[in-house]
Amino acid sequence: MDWTLIFSRAVESGIGTEAVIYALAAIGLNVHFGYTGLLNFGQAAFLAVGAYAIAVTVSTFGLPFFLGVGIGLLLAVVLALLLGIPTLRLRADYLAIVTIAAAEIVRLVVRSVALEETFGGTDGIQAFSDSFYGLNPYPAGQYNLGSIIGFDERTMWVLTVGWVLVAASCFVIYLLMKSPWGRVLKAIREDEDAVRSLGKNVFSYKMQSLVLGGVIGSLAGFIFALSRSAVQPDLFSTELTFYAYTVLILGGAARILGPVVGSAIFWALLVLISTGLEEAVNSGVITFITVNQVGPIRFMLVGLGLILLLIFRPQGIFGDKREIALDAR
Amino acid sequence: MRRAVIAFTAFLGGLIFLLASSTTMAWADGEGLKGTLRNQGQPVNGVKISVADEGNAPVADATTDAKGEWKIPVPKAGTYKVTLDQTSLPQGVSLKFKDRATLTVQVFEGNERNVLFALTSGNAGGENGTGTDATPSESSQYWTRVAQLGFEGLSLGLVIALGAVGLSLIFGTTGLTNFAHGELLTMGAFIALIFNTAGLHLLIAAPLAVIVSAGIGYAQDRWFWGVLRKRKTGVISMMIISIGLAIFLRYLFLFLFGGSGRPYEQYVAQEGIAIGPIFATPKSLVAMGIEIVVLIAVGLALLYTRIGKATRAVADNPALAASSGINVDRVVRIVWAAGTAIAALAGILLGMQQNLTYQMGLQVLLLMFAGVTLGGLGTAFGALVGSLIVGLFIQLSTLWIPPEMKTVGALAVLIVVLMVRPQGILGRRERIG
Amino acid sequence: MHADEAVANRKDGAQAVFAGLATEPGVAKPDPILVVDNVVRRFGGLTAVDVAHVEIQRGSITALIGPNGAGKTTFFNQLTGFDNADSGEWTFNGRRMNGVSAHKVARLGMVRTFQLTKALSKLTVLENMRLGAQNQLGESFLRALIPSLWRKQEDEITERAEELLQRFKLDAKRGDFAGSLSGGQRKLLEMARALMVKPELVMLDEPMAGVNPALTQSLLGHVKDLRQQGMTVLFVEHDMDMVRDISDWVIVMAQGKVIAEGPPDTIMSDDRVIDAYLGAHHDAPLSAEEEERQLAEAEAALVAEAGLASGAGPNETVTTRKEPVDE
CATH number for the domain that contains residue C260? 3.40.50.300
Q: How many CB atoms lie within 10 A of CB B341?
A: 29
Report the pLDDT averaged over residues B193-199.
Answer: 93
Give how far C43 is from chain B: nearest CA, Å. Answer: 8
Q: Torsion angle of alpha carbons C145, C150, C152, C156, nearest 10°? A: -130
Q: Which residue of C has its CA nearest to A179?
A: C144
Contacts of C77 in chain B (CB under 8 A): 432-433
Residue A329 forms part of a structural domain? no
Give how far B311 is from chain C: nearest CA, Å. Answer: 21
Largest separation between any pair of C-alpha atoms in chain A: 67
> Residue C295 — very low, low, confident or very high, per pLDDT cuts 50/70/90?
low
pLDDT at position B373, please?
85
* B415 touching A (Cβ < 8 Å): yes
pLDDT > 90: percent of chain A: 67
Contacts of A295 in chain B (CB under 8 A): 254
Best B104, B179, B183, B247 member to test A by mutation, with max A CBs in 10 Å, is B247
The stretches of chain C forming alpha helices (DSSP H) are 2-18, 72-79, 102-107, 125-132, 141-144, 147-167, 183-196, 213-228, 240-246, 264-267, 271-279, 288-307, 316-319
Give how far B418 is from chain A: nearest CA, Å. Answer: 7
> Across the interface, which of A179, A182, A201 has its CB nearest the CB of C103?
A201
pLDDT at position A230, please?
93
pLDDT at B22 over 50: no
Rg of chain A over Cα atoms, rounded to whole angstroms, equals: 20
Q: Are B338 and B214 in contact (CB under 8 A)?
A: yes
Best B83, B167, B186, B243 member to test A by mutation, with max A CBs in 10 Å, is B243
Report the pLDDT averaged over residues B221-249.
Answer: 92
Q: State the sign of the Cα–Cα–Cα–Cα dihedral C215, C220, C223, C225.
A: negative
Q: Are B92 and B63 in contact (CB under 8 A)?
A: no
Residue A35 forms part of a structural domain? yes
First to last CA, chain C: 51
Same domain, B11 and B37: no
Mean pLDDT comparison of A18-32, B377-391, B403-417, C203-217, highest-scoring range: A18-32
pLDDT tens figures, C92-138: 999 999 889 999 999 999 999 998 888 888 899 999 999 999 999 99
DSSP letter string over A38-49?
A: -----HHHHHHH
- CA C202 – CA C246 distance, rounded (Å): 15
Q: Which residues contact A87 (CB under 8 A, 6 or more apart)?
A: A94, A95, A98, A99, B418
Beta-carbon separation of B419 and A112 below 8 A: no
Same domain, B63 and B15: no
Residue B427 forms part of a structural domain? no
Beta-carbon separation of A191 and C130 below 8 A: no
Taking CA B91 as the corner, what is the angle to CA B87 and CA B94, rounded to the nearest 5 degrees? 65
Helix (H) / strand (E) containing A77: helix A65-87
Query: Which has the closest alpha carbon to A136: A64, A226, A50, A18?
Result: A226
CA C259 to chain centre: 21
> Across the interface, which of B254, B404, B414 has its CB nearest the CB of A296?
B254
Out of A243-252, B18-27, B147-156, pick the least confident: B18-27
> Residue A28 — very low, low, confident or very high, per pLDDT cuts 50/70/90?
very high
Give how far C259 is from chain A: nearest CA, Å. Answer: 28
> Residue B20 — very low, low, confident or very high, per pLDDT cuts 50/70/90?
very low
Contacts of C141 in chain A (CB under 8 A): 176, 181, 208, 212
> Residue B133 — very low, low, confident or very high, per pLDDT cuts 50/70/90?
very low
- CA B183 – CA A83 distance, rounded (Å): 27
- CA C216 – CA B145 distance, rounded (Å): 75
> Across the interface, which of A112, A300, A304 has its CB nearest the CB of B404?
A112
Beta-carbon separation of B249 and A325 below 8 A: no
Q: Which residue of C has its CA nearest to B320?
A: C324
Chains touching A (3+ CB pairs < 8 Å): B, C
CA A177 to chain centre: 20
Residue A51 forms part of a structural domain? yes
Report the pLDDT averaged over residues C195-209.
Answer: 92
pLDDT at C313 over 70: no
Best A77, A179, A206, A208 member to test C by mutation, with max C CBs in 10 Å, is A179
Q: Are B343 and B214 in contact (CB under 8 A)?
A: no
Q: Which residue of C has its CA nearest to A35?
A: C122
* B433 touching C (Cβ < 8 Å): yes
Largest separation between any pair of C-alpha atoms in chain B: 79
Report the CATH number that the domain containing residue B97 is assigned in CATH: 2.60.40.10
Out of B126-135, B304-313, B416-425, C222-231, pick the least confident: B126-135
Beta-carbon separation of A97 and B234 below 8 A: no
Helices vs. strands in chain C: H and E counts, helices first: 13, 10
pLDDT at position B60, please?
78
Same domain, B106 and B180: no
Q: Which residue of A has its CA nearest to B82?
A: A113
Q: Which residues contact A154 (CB under 8 A, 6 or more apart)?
A: A133, A136
DSSP structural state of residue C141: H
Q: Which residue has the higher pLDDT, B111 or C171?
A: C171
Report the CATH number that the domain containing residue A218 is assigned in CATH: 1.10.3470
Query: β-pairing, C32-43 with C87-92?
Result: antiparallel
Give how far A308 is from chain C: nearest CA, Å. Answer: 23
Domain that holds residue B294: 2-22+149-420
pLDDT > 70: percent of chain B: 83
pLDDT at C326 over 50: no
Give how far B321 is from chain C: nearest CA, Å. Answer: 15
> Across the interface, which of A245, A296, A328 has its CB nearest the CB of B240?
A245
Phi and psi angles of residue A230, each rounded to the nearest 5 degrees, phi first = -160, 150
ipTM: 0.90
pLDDT > 70: percent of chain A: 97
- CA C189 – CA C198 distance, rounded (Å): 15
φ/ψ region of C32 (left if φ > 0, alpha if ψ in -120 to 50, else beta) reads beta
Report the pLDDT averaged over residues B173-193.
Answer: 94
Residue B110 forms part of a structural domain? yes
Interface size between A and B, measured as CB pairs under 8 A: 145
Beta-carbon separation of A97 and B240 below 8 A: no
pLDDT at A312 over 50: yes
- CA C120 – CA C190 distance, rounded (Å): 9
Q: Torsion angle of alpha carbons B288, B292, B294, B299, nearest 10°? A: 160
Best B404, B413, B416, B430 member to test A by mutation, with max A CBs in 10 Å, is B404
Q: Which residues contact A288 (CB under 8 A, 6 or more apart)?
A: none
Q: Which residues contact B186 (CB under 8 A, 6 or more apart)?
A: B249, B250, B253, B347, B356, B358, B359, B360, B361, B362
pLDDT at position A207, please?
96
CB crowding B359-383: b at 16 or more within 10 Å, else e: bbbbebbbbbbbbbbbbbbbbbbbb
- CA A322 – CA C122 distance, rounded (Å): 7
pLDDT at position B130, please?
42
Contacts of C83 in chain B (CB under 8 A): 431-433
Same domain, B18 and B53: no
Out of A132-146, A209-223, B26-40, pick the least confident: B26-40
pLDDT at position A16, please?
93
Same domain, B38 and B11: no
Residue B430 forms part of a structural domain? no
> Residue B145 — very low, low, confident or very high, per pLDDT cuts 50/70/90?
confident
Best B224, B415, B428 member to test A by mutation, with max A CBs in 10 Å, is B415
* A164 touching C (Cβ < 8 Å): no
* B432 touching C (Cβ < 8 Å): yes
Report the pLDDT averaged over residues B107-123.
Answer: 68
> Residue A116 — very low, low, confident or very high, per pLDDT cuts 50/70/90?
confident
pLDDT at position C327, please?
34
Report the pLDDT averaged over residues A58-83.
Answer: 95
DSSP letter string over A281-317?
A: HHTTS--SS-GGGHHHHHHHHHHHHHHHHHHH-TTTT
Residue C67 forms part of a structural domain? yes
Same domain, B115 and B166: no
Contacts of A121 in chain B (CB under 8 A): 56
DSSP structural state of residue C177: B
Q: Which residue has the higher pLDDT, B72 or C200?
A: C200
Q: Are C167 and A312 in contact (CB under 8 A)?
A: no
* A194 touching B (Cβ < 8 Å): no
pLDDT at A204 over 90: yes
Contacts of C327 in chain B (CB under 8 A): 431
- CA C304 – CA C296 distance, rounded (Å): 12
* Residue C63: strand pairing partners: C235, C250
Q: How many CB atoms lie within 10 A of CB B116?
A: 18
Q: At what angle do helices A238-251 and A294-312 cross, to 10 degrees?
A: 50
pLDDT at C306 over 50: no
Q: Are B200 and B333 in contact (CB under 8 A)?
A: no
Residue C163 forms part of a structural domain? no
Same domain, B94 and B170: no
pLDDT at position B427, please?
62
CA C50 to chain centre: 21
Q: How many CB atoms lie within 10 A of CB C311?
A: 11
Contacts of C121 in chain A (CB under 8 A): 190
Contacts of C134 in chain A (CB under 8 A): 199
- CA B237 – CA B32 distance, rounded (Å): 48
Contacts of B257 in chain A (CB under 8 A): none
Report the CATH number that the domain containing residue B357 is assigned in CATH: 1.10.3470
Mean pLDDT comparison of A309-323, B89-103, B245-259, B405-419, highest-scoring range: B245-259
Best C76, C77, C101, C103 member to test A by mutation, with max A CBs in 10 Å, is C103
pLDDT > 90: percent of chain B: 33
Residue B129 forms part of a structural domain? no
pLDDT tens figures, A211-247: 999 999 999 999 999 999 999 999 999 999 999 999 9
Same domain, B400 and B344: yes
Q: Are B255 and A312 in contact (CB under 8 A)?
A: no
Report the pLDDT averaged over residues B305-328.
Answer: 86
Query: How many domains are there within chain A?
Result: 1
Domain that holds residue C7: 2-109+199-286
Q: Which residue has the higher pLDDT, C265 or C293?
A: C265
Contacts of B102 in chain A (CB under 8 A): 113
- CA B93 – CA A134 distance, rounded (Å): 48
Report helix, strand or coil for B306. Answer: helix
Beta-carbon separation of C114 and A197 below 8 A: yes
Query: How many domains are there within chain C?
Result: 1
Contacts of B431 in chain C (CB under 8 A): 43, 83, 327
pLDDT at A319 over 50: yes
pLDDT tens figures, B39-89: 766 677 778 888 888 777 777 788 777 777 787 877 777 778 888 877 777
> Across the interface, which of C43, C82, C327 has its CB nearest the CB of B433?
C82
- CA A236 – CA A106 distance, rounded (Å): 9
Give how far A88 is from chain C: nearest CA, Å. Answer: 15
Mean pLDDT comparison of A291-295, B275-279, B385-389, highest-scoring range: B385-389
The stretches of A111-152 forming alpha helices (DSSP H) are 116-119, 130-134
Contacts of C132 in chain A (CB under 8 A): 198
pLDDT at C4 over 70: no
pLDDT tens figures, A261-290: 999 999 999 999 989 998 898 888 888 888
- CA B368 – CA B185 distance, rounded (Å): 11
> Residue C298 — very low, low, confident or very high, per pLDDT cuts 50/70/90?
low
Domain that holds residue A33: 3-323
Q: How many CB atoms lie within 10 A of CB A15?
A: 19
CA–CA distance from B254 to each of A240, B241, B361, B363, C97 (Å)?
18, 20, 12, 15, 60
CA–CA distance from B48 to each of B36, B90, B126, C41 (Å)?
12, 11, 20, 67
Residue B411 forms part of a structural domain? yes
pLDDT at position B127, please?
39
Query: How many domains are there within chain B?
Result: 2
Beta-carbon separation of A176 and C141 below 8 A: yes
